Amino acid sequence: MALSSSEITNTTGIQLQKGACVVIVRTEWNAHVVDILEEGCKKILQESDVCFEVIEVPGAVEITFAIKSYWENHQYK
């Protein structure tokens, strides 16, 4: 079952707090799909005035390591 554009961009119930920062971790693998998902995320975050950063990794296996590394290097101490 395919979703319509309005269903994909429906943010009802999602609390996007101003001043928050979101890290988008994307993969190089399957770029034709990931590119579309990333653009949708960025559009909604920009419309909600939420800052974001994008990290790119080669594939799914590296996602958790990228998140862990980002967290360790950007924690407020």
Give the H/E segment covering residue 7: helix 5-8
Is the full-model pTM beyond 0.85? no
Number of domain units in the chain: 1
**What is the 3 state secondary structure string of 10-73?**
CCCCCCCCCCCEEEEEEECCCHHHHHHHHHHHHHHHHHCCCEEEEEEECCHHHHHHHHHHHHHH
* Residue numbers of the domain that contains 57: 19-74
pLDDT digits (tens, 9 = 90+) for 3-13: 566 666 676 77
Looking at every residue in the chain, the average pLDDT score rounds to 84
Residue 47 lies in a domain: yes
Q: What letter does residue 74 receive in the DSSP assignment?
A: H
Residue 11 lies in a domain: no
Q: Which two tokens stand for residue 52?
A: 């974001």
